[in-house]
Amino acid sequence: EAGVAQSPRYKIIEKRQSVAFWCNPISGHATLYWYQQILGQGPKLLIQFQNNGVVDDSQLPKDRFSAERLKGVDSTLKIQPAKLEDSAVYLCASSFPEGILGPLHFGNGTRLTVT
Amino acid sequence: KQEVTQIPAALSVPEGENLVLNCSFTDSAIYNLQWFRQDPGKGLTSLLLIQSSQREQTSGRLNASLDKSSGRSTLYIAASQPGDSATYLCAVWDYGQNFVFGPGTRLSVLP
């Protein structure tokens, strides 16, 4: 089966600019997650979708970050305006509807550098 | 709040050695624990998933154990190879519906 697809792979922007990341989960996976991974740390959950509804966005900095999952498939994560501390790898993951009991499958991530 | 730690932070071993990576979590009320491998510049690859009712899982040269009551899991790698060099992360899914990651152990297997 095809894995989780993410684009772009790399992005360099200046602070205060905006950026968007795209994710296509594994076919049939209802649950989709966006994680932020800062160098040397484990991934931190930003937002979790079940189909096209938000399950958990408690750690999403909503003043600058937004995410949507239209039609319950693809998802986009946007940062506007970006700050230096947003430099990180942004990982998308998906799992089956019974995600609590099943494994997470990750994409290769988007490495964001904010200068 | 669930916290996950991993010891050691980094490990360097000669090829062929057996090794153990440790993962600890503070809240034993978990659904499952998952071990991942992350290669530089890549996403996370799932290695083993242990449900809360299980004690261990095996895949090839990898064996993961879970002791929920003590809040510990170990990942055992037998006969290590240079291709095993990567960062290994554990994560727990707790009753708070959160999937919490540890910071990882960076493993280098020297030829």
CB contact under 8 Å between B46 and A103, yes or no, is yes
Residue with the bigger pLDDT between A97 and A33: it is: A33
pLDDT-based confidence at residue A28 (cuts at 50, 70, 90): confident
pLDDT-based confidence at residue B42 (cuts at 50, 70, 90): confident
Q: How many A/B residue pairs have CB atoms within 8 Å? A: 53
Secondary structure (3-state) at B59:
strand
The residue assigned the tokens 């600058």 is: A64
Residue A58 per-residue DSSP state = T
Asked whether residue A86 carries a pLDDT value surpassing 80, the answer given is yes
Give the whole-number percent of chain B exceeding pLDDT 90.
83
Please give, rounded to a whole number of angstroms, the shortest distance from the CA of A109 to a CA of chain B.
6
pLDDT-based confidence at residue A52 (cuts at 50, 70, 90): confident
Cβ neighbours of B93 in A, within 8 Å? 100
Q: Which H/E stretch holds residue B65?
A: strand B62-67
Measure the CA angle with vertex A61, ends A51 and A39; round to 5°: 95
Asked whether residue B94 carries a pLDDT value surpassing 70, the answer given is yes
Region A24-49: mean pLDDT is 92
Report chain B's C-alpha Rg in angstroms: 13
CB contact under 8 Å between A42 and B43, yes or no, is no
